[in-house]
Amino acid sequence: MERIGVYPGTFDPCTRGHMDIIRRGARLVDKLIIGVATNPSKSPMFTLAERKAQVVRETADIANVEVVEFDALLMTFAERQGATIIVRGLRAVADFEYEFQMAGMNQQLNDNIETVFLMADVALQPIASRLVKEIAVYGGDIRKFVSHAIADDVVARVAQMGVRGQ
């Protein structure tokens, strides 16, 4: 039986931290489905289709990864994909509290799907998509936090939006 995992997120943008979790998560399963999610509580910089395309580009060298858009309850999406594992990355204690609560709720919805937490690489722990976007808006160099291709996408979008901090 093929072991399928799902790694959900908004990936707005996909960071080096996300890629660390994707690469490590892909080693734990036969197939890792990256679920690029809509999130009504966030105002993404990139459209769902753009975020999916970016993640597809970033993961092109990982054979057992598939990238899928989704706009559904995570457990419903995971069930539809035939997943038995949800992969989640942790950076700090604040992440743990939120993720612990989510894992508990997800277990109540379907206790046949396990949540597996991967600690982010120490060097990557401070990276957050929200902060990457903020640094870019203020003209900072974000290439330490995202690939050069993603950095180019973010810088171009900031210019297109005409947003520039002082």
CB 150 within 8 A of CB 58: yes
The reply to whether 134 falls in a domain is no
Mean pLDDT of the chain: 93
pLDDT digits (tens, 9 = 90+) for 79-92: 999 999 999 999 87
Rounded distance between C-alpha atoms, residue 115 and residue 8, angstroms: 11
Helices (H) and strands (E) in the chain, counts: 6, 5
Question: What's 48's domain CATH number?
Answer: 3.40.50.620
Write out the residue range of the structural domain in which residue 76 sits. Answer: 4-122
Please, which residues have CB within 8 angstroms of residue 158's CB and are 6 or more apart in sequence?
136, 137, 164
Q: Is residue 151 part of a domain?
A: no
Position 86 in a domain: yes
The catalytic residue positions are: 18, 42, 91, 129
Measure the CA–CA gap between 31 and 48, rounded to whole angstroms: 22
> Terminus-to-terminus CA distance in the chain, angstroms?
55
> Per the structure, how many domains does the chain have?
1
pLDDT at 98 over 90: no
pLDDT one-digit tens code per residue, 29-52: 999 999 999 977 778 999 999 999
What sign does the dihedral 47-49-50-51 (CA atoms) show? positive
